[in-house]
Amino acid sequence: MNLKHGHSRRNRTSTYNSWRNMLRRPKRTDKQSKKYYADKGIKVCDRWLEFENFLADMGERPEGYLIDRINPDENYEPSNCRWATMQESQNTKTQRRGRGWTKIKDGQYQVRMRFSGKDRHLGMCRSEEEAEALYKAAVVLYEAHKTDLFEAR
């Protein structure tokens, strides 16, 4: 059956599959998925429970791209999602050591960001709040320019 948007439930498109997988992630019960979705309260916005709305907001999935939450601590919703390459997605993914920062000696936090295949040191901070702010500012800056701003020129 072809739906009015041209996507088929029988012959699913990459866009439709991305939407279906997005809906499933917060509901999964395996330990790894719960850690990154359910335990953090991540949900899909009500608008996106209908594929037509998701398609209208996100457009078709470009070849080689996947859905990415810009802020990994926020929900799947239009203001927090984009189509991204795997590399771009890795830049904003919650890191196992922290959200881009790690507490080290003397109560300081080391802030790092991975892009262009390299782990980049962004700075040292005195509090977790400061580290989070630095990391988020770097992500926003990187996203705004879509370039490797921290490469030595």
- Say if residues 22 and 37 touch (Cβ distance below 8 Å): no
> Mean pLDDT in the chain?
79
Q: Which residues make up the CATH 3.30.730 domain(s) of the chain?
A: 95-147
Q: Which residues pair with 2 in a beta bridge?
A: 8
Write down the pLDDT at residue 72. Answer: 82
The answer to whether residue 141 scores a pLDDT higher than 50 is yes
Look up the CATH number of domain 95-147. Answer: 3.30.730
63 pLDDT band, cuts 50/70/90, is: very high
The answer to whether residue 148 scores a pLDDT higher than 70 is no
The string of pLDDT tens digits covering residues 104-127 is 767 788 888 876 667 778 888 888
Report yes or no on whether pTM surpasses 0.75: no
Q: Give CA 18 to chain center in angstroms.
A: 13
For the chain, what is the radius of gyration of the CA atoms? 18
47 pLDDT band, cuts 50/70/90, is: very high
The string of pLDDT tens digits covering residues 86-102 is 877 776 654 444 457 77
Q: What six digits make up the tokens of 73?
A: 């601590």
Q: Provide, rounded to the nearest whole percent, the portion of the chain with pLDDT above 70.
A: 78
Q: What six digits make up the tokens of 33?
A: 């998925």
Tell me what the mean pLDDT of segment 16-41 comes to. Answer: 86
| Range with lowest mean pLDDT among 55-64, 106-115, 125-134 | 106-115
DSSP string covering 32-47: HHHHHTGGGT--B-GG
Amino acid, single-letter form, for residue 35: K
The string of pLDDT tens digits covering residues 2-27 is 455 556 566 678 999 999 999 999 88
- Say if residues 17 and 23 touch (Cβ distance below 8 Å): no
